[in-house]
Amino acid sequence: MQHRIALIEDDLILGEALSERLEMEGYICDWFQTGGAASTALGRNAYSLVISDINLPDISGETLFIQLSEQLAASMPAFLFITGHGAIEQAVRLLKMGARDYITKPFNVAELIAKVRQLCSHQALPVQAETRLGISSAMRQIESLLPRLAASRSAVLISGESGSGKEEVARSLHRARDADGATPFVAVNCGAIPEHLIESELFGHVKGAFTGAIRARKGVFEQAHGGTLFLDEIGEMPLSMQVKLLRAIQEHAVTPVGSEHPKAVDIRLVCATHRDLLAMVETGSFREDLFYRIHVVHVEIPPLRERKEDILWLAAHFLAEFSQGRSTPFSLDAEAQRALASYPWPGNIRELRHCLERATILSPRPQLDTEALFGNSLPPAQTPAAATVQPLADHIRDCERAYIARALDERGGHMGETATLLGISRKNLWEKMRKLGMSEPG
């Protein structure tokens, strides 16, 4: 395993030269040209060392260091600053604040590499987290938020269309809080519970509380004690129950149906909805006080049609799952891939999964085509014939963008390894991504 280094340098020539030299020395180097891009990546990935210029185009290296010290705390990587002679006093001040070392411009590259080796030798090799939610910039941004949300006990509200992956985001947040799986994750769909049973489902009941209560039962609040409680479709909860839910959240205690004795519960609450709760507050169908109690942090998941990069990435994951136990794995032909990428997916990820699962059951061949996927149900505007009407240059551009995105995902977003995989230089890859409108990983 290799040490991963974050290089923050806005000078294109110096940045490329340093990143290539660090990779020649056996390090994994992620090069960022702004402090903002680096901050996002540092919140998501584990690094052994950060090499940062003090003067950055969007934020000073000192401000970035202070912000990261607060956000990352004990997981803060070592910092090595690059500075000019006129900023040595600032570099010394950063050393007193916890930075490990600095080097002044112009510097000898061998001297820099020596400092890097020394600093990395005292750092444990980091464990890199796997991308779970998607390769689109929107989902990577959500994933980068999870470590910060995991460090807080505040309530989180996840919104998005039905089937867009709200529960998977909630589960990923729980994993970020409890990587070992020692605490429970309990999910309940508020819209699927009959109104007369919802209080018992949430808070539990004692024996004899009502007809049919032949024994005591814990509700989901008690079942999730010490872990995460995920209340899906919170907008479907009856008004009469919203008052009791608010009280349970505020007092960190529940009273089972038929009991007079409250029970303390310690949960991290995550709610989800496909509805506009603020509009419901205005119409009186959702309590305003409950809305602000569960809306401390809001995570909005865009629909699948707005993050097309994720479609084939998700399809590959589903097909790998459906291929388990088979000698020949399922795959998609070129027309099927284009059809999947151009279809609007009104049912989002859930519809995509069902489409692929049905195709793997009914197709006589392991390579799936558009007929296996859609049969005759593909809308006319989405047929392969219609999809090929686009100009050739646009089609080539879309294919190139999707191919580079898949290659980046295979190499964990590492630019150098992706360039090698594609048979081009890192500079050429960066220029292609810029022309294609693709953001650099992180």
Tens-digit pLDDT profile for the chain (442 aa)? 568 899 999 888 888 889 889 888 888 889 999 888 888 788 777 788 999 998 888 888 888 898 888 777 667 889 999 887 667 788 888 888 888 988 888 888 888 998 998 888 776 655 444 557 887 878 888 888 888 888 888 899 999 999 999 999 999 999 988 877 788 999 999 888 888 888 888 988 887 767 766 787 888 999 999 999 999 999 999 998 999 999 999 999 988 888 888 889 899 999 999 999 999 999 999 999 999 999 989 999 999 999 888 898 888 889 888 888 888 888 888 888 888 988 999 999 999 999 999 999 988 888 998 888 988 665 544 444 444 455 666 667 777 777 787 777 777 777 877 777 777 777 777 778 877 777 666 5
Are 164 and 238 part of one and the same domain? yes
Q: What is the pLDDT of residue 42?
A: 82
Q: What is the pLDDT of residue 384?
A: 42
Q: What is the pLDDT of residue 387?
A: 43
Residue 442 in domain: no
Residue 319 in domain: yes
Are 292 and 359 part of one and the same domain? no
Are 281 and 356 part of one and the same domain? no
Are 324 and 417 part of one and the same domain? yes
CATH of the domain at 84: 3.40.50.2300
| φ, ψ at 308 (rounded to 5°) | -60, -25
Are 223 and 334 part of one and the same domain? no
Are 287 and 149 part of one and the same domain? yes
Residue 128 in domain: no
Question: Of 121, 156, 184, which marks where a domain is finished?
Answer: 121
> Domain tally for the chain?
3
Residue 157 in domain: yes
Q: What is the pLDDT of residue 385?
A: 41
Are 192 and 206 part of one and the same domain? yes
Q: What is the pLDDT of residue 312?
A: 87
Are 322 and 283 part of one and the same domain? no
Residue 129 in domain: no
Q: What is the pLDDT of residue 131?
A: 57
Are 263 and 410 part of one and the same domain? no
Are 168 and 287 part of one and the same domain? yes
CATH of the domain at 328: 1.10.8.60
Q: Which domain holds residue 328?
A: 305-435
Residue 126 in domain: no
